[in-house]
């Protein structure tokens, strides 16, 4: 793809997503390569690095080139690298972790700017992940609805039913006690600090109501936005291969891991990153 001198960038859909080749994420990469990767990340919102053979320590070191790794608030990380969380679905389990449309941990006052997810063990078929472009979700709204949303804030909760159910098996499998309910309020329309573009910042996983309104009053508009923001033309679907690593921009995307591989094991290693000073 034109515009990149040190890496190869291959878009996978019109809406978002690109595969980056020519980058060994476990090596000491030059700042020039990192700068091009970051540019591609901001341009395509989610990027994929195939055929990576990296340790948790190397994955963590790579993540530090783009932000500050942080521990996940609900799940205990790996011993020695607590910022690296094993996202596992075992053959007997029916729920998968995060198996609904959502942006990560928007119930925090400062949600992560992004995340890295590495495929360690995959089912023979299935287990793809869907991603959606929240710039497009906002930009395709009517002028009138944009005006309505411009002054609204949304309450985000860790206890919303669908998201809470998707964490049950992983919380049971660790020694971490049942987490407290976390809530935060954010603007419904957020301006991306690096691109300056506006993105819709509600999501089915965590958004419960608008500030100053009841859940019943908020439900009709929130339900419309949830349906709108995952229209097929705003999305891409990625089929994982062992050793592939994704990096998505949590400020302007949503994702949904497809739960279609019952009876098989799937193991991923994920890291959340915050921006400098967050």
For residue 274, report the phi and psi dihedrals to the nearest 5 degrees: -100, 165
pLDDT, position 247 = 98
Residue 169 annotated in active site:
no
pLDDT, position 3 = 83
Q: Are 113 and 278 in contact (CB under 8 A)?
A: yes
Spatial distance between the Cα atoms of 136 and 139, rounded to a whole number of angstroms: 5
Residue 209 annotated in active site:
no
Whether pLDDT at 174 is above 70: no
Give the active site residue among 170, 206, 269, 270.
270
pLDDT, position 170 = 45
Spatial distance between the Cα atoms of 99 and 193, rounded to a whole number of angstroms: 28
Spatial distance between the Cα atoms of 73 and 180, rounded to a whole number of angstroms: 10
Q: Which domains does the chain have, with CATH numbers?
A: 8-274 (3.60.130.10)
**Averaged confidence pLDDT in the chain:** 93
Residue 102 annotated in active site:
yes
pLDDT, position 261 = 96
pLDDT, position 161 = 63
Whether pLDDT at 167 is above 60: no
Give the active site residue among 104, 206, 266, 269.
104
DSSP for residue 234: G
CA distances from 156 to 8, 104, 219 (A): 38, 11, 13
Tens of pLDDT along 33-80? 999 999 999 999 999 999 999 999 999 999 999 999 999 887 899 999
pLDDT, position 179 = 62
Give the active site residue among 102, 170, 186, 269.
102
Residue 128 annotated in active site:
no
Tokens for 30?
């030059």
Total Cβ atoms within 10 A of residue 175: 5
Spatial distance between the Cα atoms of 50 and 177, rounded to a whole number of angstroms: 36
Q: How many CA atoms lie within 13 A of 147 on its CB side?
A: 3
Q: Are 110 and 245 in contact (CB under 8 A)?
A: no
- At residue 180 the predicted structure's pLDDT band, cuts being 50, 70 and 90, is confident
Give the active site residue among 186, 206, 251, 255.
255
């Amino acid at each position: 793809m034109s515009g990149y001198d040190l890496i190869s960038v291959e878009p996978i859909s019109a809406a978002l997503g690109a595969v980056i080749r020519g980058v060994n994420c476990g090596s000491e990469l030059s700042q020039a390569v990192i700068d091009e990767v970051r540019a591609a990340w901001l341009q395509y919102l989610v990027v994929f690095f195939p055929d990576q053979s990296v340790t948790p320590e190397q994955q963590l070191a790579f993540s530090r080139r783009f932000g500050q790794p942080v521990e996940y608030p609900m799940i205990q990380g790996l011993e020695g690298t607590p910022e690296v969380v094993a996202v596992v679905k075992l053959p007997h389990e029916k729920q998968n972790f995060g198996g609904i449309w959502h942006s990560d941990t928007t119930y925090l006052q400062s949600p992560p700017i992004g995340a890295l997810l590495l495929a360690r063990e995959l089912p023979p078929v299935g287990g793809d992940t869907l991603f959606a472009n929240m710039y497009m979700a906002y930009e395709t709204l009517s002028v009138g609805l944009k005006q309505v949303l411009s002054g609204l804030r949304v309450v985000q909760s860790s206890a919303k039913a669908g998201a809470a159910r998707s964490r049950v098996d992983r919380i049971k499998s660790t020694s971490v006690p049942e987490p407290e309910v976390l809530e935060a309020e954010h603007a419904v329309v957020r301006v991306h600090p690096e691109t300056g573009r506006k993105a819709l910042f509600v999501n089915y996983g965590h958004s419960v109501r608008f500030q100053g309104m009841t859940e019943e009053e908020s439900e009709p508009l929130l339900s419309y936005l949830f349906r709108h923001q995952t229209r097929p033309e705003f999305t891409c679907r990625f089929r994982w291969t062992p050793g592939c690593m994704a990096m998505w921009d949590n400020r302007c995307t949503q994702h949904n891991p497809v739960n279609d591989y019952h009876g098989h094991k799937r193991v991923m290693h994920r890291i959340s990153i915050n921006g400098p000073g967050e």
